[in-house]
Structure 1
Amino acid sequence: MDIHRGDVAAIKTNVLFFFDGGVDDAIALLYALASDQVEIVGIVADYGNMSRSIAVRNARYLLQKTGREEIPVISGAEHPLSGASPTFFPQVHGPQGLGYILPALAPTNVENFADVVPILQRYQEQLVIVAAGRLTSLAVLEAVYGDLLAKVGRIFVMGGAFLVPGNVTPVAEANFHGDPLAAEAVMKQARSLTVIPLNVTDHALVTPEMAAELDADDRTGLIKGMFDFYYRFYKSKNPQIQGAPMHDLLTMMAVVQEPMMRYTTSPVWVETQSGVALGQSVGDFRPYAERPTDRRSHRLAVSFDQEFFRADLMSVLKSAF
């Protein structure tokens, strides 16, 4: 498949990236930094796959490795809205969040969370938010700076699982399960929201062959070390799987590759009570359903062009850095 990119090189989408420090976050960031269609204007580093401090360090490290240290790294949420201690997943993403890559300590000068506000004020409708982790920081923005958030052009969220099993419980996806109160608040109030759920991102596979091809041209020396650890985990859980699912990468790509995605529209409810259903996301896909008056409807991804995904990923990252 041909990927035509040069005609839009001068038109970049400004992205504020909410990042929680894991492998698929890192691959998504590398894609965005390499793309001639994305301009990362800030990174909010949250707890999630790793602690907030590791997420901050990983963001700084990736920016150092790619020569983009001018991009501000903003310190986000440290724990969910409930105040509970978060659960981390080093078995999935590695002890430092980047698989077999063990980052050297980066400078710790990061921006306070309030420094998101000037970014919102500056870009307004020209800004896209990509939230790839727990939705705690986004929910706080909605509660405190809702008037500014309402001016943002679009919000893309990786989260939820619709009509499929979850990945941390029988019914719940990790981001919504990690802070269901925040997920419910965002699903209820946010405007111009697109949800890229687990039932779609599970098919965004990067294969060992793709990783080896990228590694041959990877001057950062990052991709294969991250991929190999991440793929080993998924292979241990499902020996039949042919690659590692890049949930956050697909979410980032969806921002600028609209023809790749297919969507439906539905309100979303998130279960906030304790028990096996905690964090479960529910949509209403009945054609005759009446829309509720207490929450907004959102665009939900239902499928994507996998050939386009693979071709665009390889085209962008093979020419990077």
Structure 2
Amino acid sequence: MRIPATVPDTGTVPVTLEPVRQKILMDNDTGIDDSLGLLYLLASPEAEIVGIASTAGNVPAPQVAANNLALLDLVRAPELEVAQGALTPLAIPLRTTEDTHGPRGVGYAELPPTTRPLSDRSAAQLWVDLAREHPGEIVGLCTGPLTNLALALRMEPRLPQLLRRLVIMGGAFNHPGNTTPTNEWNVHVDPEAAKEVFDAFSTAPADRRPVVCALDITETIEMKPKHLTLLAERAGSTPVEHVSENDPPQARSAASNPLVRYLTDAIRFYFDFHKLYDQGYLAHMHDPFAAAVALDPSLAVTKPATVDVELAGTLTRAATVADWAGMWGREPNADIVIGTDPELFFERLVERVGEYARTVFAEGDSSR
């Protein structure tokens, strides 16, 4: 995706400019949709991933880190720093969700073993060090519980001023929860951390408030089997498989492209999970959407609000509450996404990840 420069017609060959690259620190709990969010970044020429922080959530933190390293290996990515986060939330035992993401967090897929090393520094230290080294340059992208970021804020309270922007996948406002009737998974895992983060960003300038991609919007980002077909076609993978709700659980992709094979096996598990809970044979792509917003905020229509997290409610603990009207008398500390164009998002996802799969694996190369 090279952007032609506008130059006078002098008979010379037009110059092409590389897109301006955006430094991204991704904090995830990989996770099927987290993995697709990471792939979206890897496939985007305007993204420069400066680090990956692995947080406990969908699966334990060591498994998350292993998934991140193995996924980088699968796609032959350059060396990227992957740091492991805290093993438990700030104040409560860890709850994981292998029923949603599979025993290793990647559905039916199997990632290859990897010898890539884990960072010597913790995920929280990674946040702090990178923000200090690149003040005003880094976009933080959180697609899991906010434990690592909360710990980083305790170490460096100036993070809201040091980061260029923060994008969070989490919360539910005018929408039912997906874990309890009132709360969303990432906040549910570590509500104390979520509250610390939102409280800390009450001091952020208006142009650096967190952009919050909550269930209100992310559950409209519905991936369906047709999108997997389009990805395979864009990648030039054969055979072009058509995933169906009638496929048995033991079915595995025979795609020639290793990345398409991984995505098919991982996402089919996600389809099966959503169907089990009467949501249709589809998968909500929460995290890739947040990744897309991190790179292009114009994908999201936002509305400022003051966000807090309920910690004491018997029925509502971990609920995210938004004061849209200023009733609390506190300045907004978040910009909540209230609208988007899912079709445009999926066009970008298919184009970028499909072309990335084609480029990484030359035709006929299924050696990994």
Seen in structure 2, the aligned counterparts of structure 1 residues 148 and 186 have a Cα distance that, compared at 3 Å, is closer
Match of 1:80 among 79, 83, 89: 89
1:161 has 2:161 as partner: no
Match of 2:79 among 70, 90, 98: 70
**Higher mean C-alpha deviation, range 143-152 or range 250-259:** 143-152
Deviations 1:204-262 (A, max 9, x none): 111101112213425423211111001110011125x3521110111000012222211
1:103 has 2:111 as partner: yes
Q: Which is greater in Rg?
A: 2
Deviation at 1:123, TM superposition (A): 1.9
1:25 has 2:19 as partner: no
Give the aligned partner of residue 225 of structure 1. 265
Give the aligned partner of residue 316 of structure 2. 277
> 2: CA distance between counterparts of 1:44 and 1:245?
23
Please state whether the residue corresponding to 1:78 is helix, strand or coil.
coil
Contact 2:301 2:340 in 1 (8 A): yes
Instruction: Let me know the Cα RMSD of the aligned residues.
Output: 1.7
Give the aligned partner of residue 231 of structure 2. 214
Give the aligned partner of residue 122 of structure 1. 133
Give the aligned partner of residue 305 of structure 2. 266
Match of 2:222 among 205, 208, 219: 205
Matches within 5 A, 1:136-155: 136-155=147-166
Contact 1:189 1:296 in 2 (8 A): no
Please state whether the residue corresponding to 1:35 is helix, strand or coil.
coil
User: How many pairs align?
Assistant: 312
Give the aligned partner of residue 256 of structure 1. 295
User: Which amino acid is the alignment partner of residue 2 of structure 2?
Assistant: G
**Higher mean C-alpha deviation, range 141-150 or range 101-110:** 101-110
**Higher mean C-alpha deviation, range 249-258 or range 114-123:** 114-123
Seen in structure 2, the aligned counterparts of structure 1 residues 109 and 226 have a Cα distance that, compared at 3 Å, is same
Please state whether the residue corresponding to 2:336 is helix, strand or coil.
strand
Give the aligned partner of residue 334 of structure 2. 298
Deviation at 1:9, TM superposition (A): 4.0
Give the aligned partner of residue 315 of structure 1. 351
Question: Please, which runs of 5 or more residues in structure 1 have no aligned partner?
Answer: none
Please state whether the residue corresponding to 2:304 is helix, strand or coil.
strand
- Identity among equivalent positions (%) equals 26
Please state whether the residue corresponding to 2:158 is helix, strand or coil.
helix
> 2: CA distance between counterparts of 1:118 and 1:285?
34
Give TM-score scaled by structure 1 length. 0.92
> 1: CA distance between counterparts of 2:176 and 2:160?
32
Deviations 1:131-184 (A, max 9, x none): 110001111111111224521100011110011110000000011111111111
Q: Which has the higher contact order (CA 8 A, sep 6+)?
A: 1
Question: Please, which runs of 5 or more residues in structure 2 have no aligned partner?
Answer: 4-16, 236-256, 361-368
Please state whether the residue corresponding to 1:255 is helix, strand or coil.
helix
Match of 2:277 among 231, 237, 250: 237
> 1: CA distance between counterparts of 2:258 and 2:116?
25
Contact 1:17 1:43 in 2 (8 A): yes
**Higher mean C-alpha deviation, range 269-278 or range 125-134:** 269-278
> 2: CA distance between counterparts of 1:204 and 1:115?
30
User: Which amino acid is the alignment partner of residue 264 of structure 1?
Assistant: K
Give the aligned partner of residue 189 of structure 1. 200
Seen in structure 2, the aligned counterparts of structure 1 residues 163 and 116 have a Cα distance that, compared at 3 Å, is closer
Give the aligned partner of residue 188 of structure 2. 177
Give the aligned partner of residue 49 of structure 1. 58
User: Which amino acid is the alignment partner of residue 276 of structure 1?
Assistant: L
User: Which amino acid is the alignment partner of residue 147 of structure 1?
Assistant: R
> 2: CA distance between counterparts of 1:157 and 1:195?
5
Please state whether the residue corresponding to 2:227 is helix, strand or coil.
helix
User: Which amino acid is the alignment partner of residue 6 of structure 1?
Assistant: R
Give the aligned partner of residue 2 of structure 2. 6
> 2: CA distance between counterparts of 1:238 and 1:59?
30
> 1: CA distance between counterparts of 2:63 and 2:309?
28
